[in-house]
Amino acid sequence: MTPLLVLADVSAGYGGAHDAISGVSLTAAAGERIAVLGPNGGGKTTLFRVLTGELPHRGSVRQAGRAAIVPQTERSRLDFPVSALDVVLMGTIAGRPWWRRAGRRERAAARAALAAVGLEDRAGASFGALSGGQRQRVLIARALVQDARVLLLDEPFTGLDAPSAERLEALTGALAAEGRAILIATHDLEQARGWERVLCLNRRAIACGTPEAVLTPEAVAATYGGSLVRVDGGGLVILPAHHH
């Protein structure tokens, strides 16, 4: 299968003494969902910024077109006066000359993207008035309208109730099945077990492969360090980060 994304020995940082990520290699093929596991500050966002072209890097990045990112909904201003359709239309900006406004073609594409995530009837709703799950799906529609074959989802399940999380899980599966590669930053080990592959990242790639091969106590412990605990029954739980 032709890979949609090939990273070889990629390093990037923010100008400090140490790189935020170093020596990361990864291949993603169409139809794959890849969990990107790692602690806060471990380099997940840095990796995504490299893939969207926002951050310069060393090493080789080859991908089919530019990846589209689906940020955490908390990063957006919920009080900003935009509708769901307005938000999706933002995904068409890069494809237009600077002087051209969104026209009929872009609006049709945006409505189609909203339909693909099951929100065609909420196009006119204020973004801030939508539920957390609906907002996440609007942002996925914004990524879809960019025609990207590689999608980057930044902790999309954070704060979602169980039905919304299930719906989003099914949506990511459907989008991957349509021939996309999807990288999903997450802390949920059990959810990651249901996806095709896992990349454990803590400034460097700790492990990468199928969930069965990668999600061993040793690899997860090396990724999360002291924030990982073993609970009754043998399961592993990641403790939320403490901010002092």
Report residue 77 as tokens. 């201003």
Using DSSP bridges, classify how beta strands 150-154 and 181-186 pair: parallel, antiparallel or unpaired.
Answer: parallel
Strands laid side by side in the 3-12 sheet: 21-29, 3-12, 58-63
The count of chain residues that interact with another protein, using the rule CB under 8 A, is: 30
Residue 45 Cβ, how far from another protein at the closest point, in Å?
10
If binding is defined by CB under 8 A, does position 69 make contact with another protein?
yes
If binding is defined by CB under 8 A, does position 80 make contact with another protein?
yes
Task: Report the residue number, 110 or 192, with the smaller CB distance to another protein.
Answer: 110
**AA identity, residue 108:** A
Nearest alpha carbon to residue 185 among 166, 170, 167, 172: 172
Task: Report the residue number, 96 or 230, with the smaller CB distance to another protein.
Answer: 96
Would you tell me the crossing angle of helices 162-177 and 132-144 to the nearest 10 degrees?
A: 10
Residue 112 Cβ, how far from another protein at the closest point, in Å?
18
If binding is defined by CB under 8 A, does position 112 make contact with another protein?
no
101, 104, 243, 244: residue in contact with another protein (rule CB under 8 A): 101
DSSP string, 43-106: SHHHHHHHHTTSS--EEEEEESS--EEE--GGGS-TTS--BHHHHHHGGGGGGS-TTPPP-HHH
Q: First CA to last CA across the chain, in angstroms?
A: 46
Residue 92 Cβ, how far from another protein at the closest point, in Å?
8
If binding is defined by CB under 8 A, does position 98 make contact with another protein?
yes
Instruction: State whether the Cα torsion 53-54-56-58 is positive or negative.
Output: negative
CB 55 within 8 A of CB 104: no
87, 151, 165, 176: residue in contact with another protein (rule CB under 8 A): 87
Map the footprint of another protein across residues 48-67, applying CB under 8 A.
49, 52-54
If binding is defined by CB under 8 A, does position 82 make contact with another protein?
yes
Site string for another protein, 20-49 (x = CB under 8 A): -----------------------------x
Residues that bind another protein (CB under 8 A): 49, 52-54, 68-69, 71, 75-77, 80-83, 86-87, 89-95, 98-99, 101-102, 126-127, 146
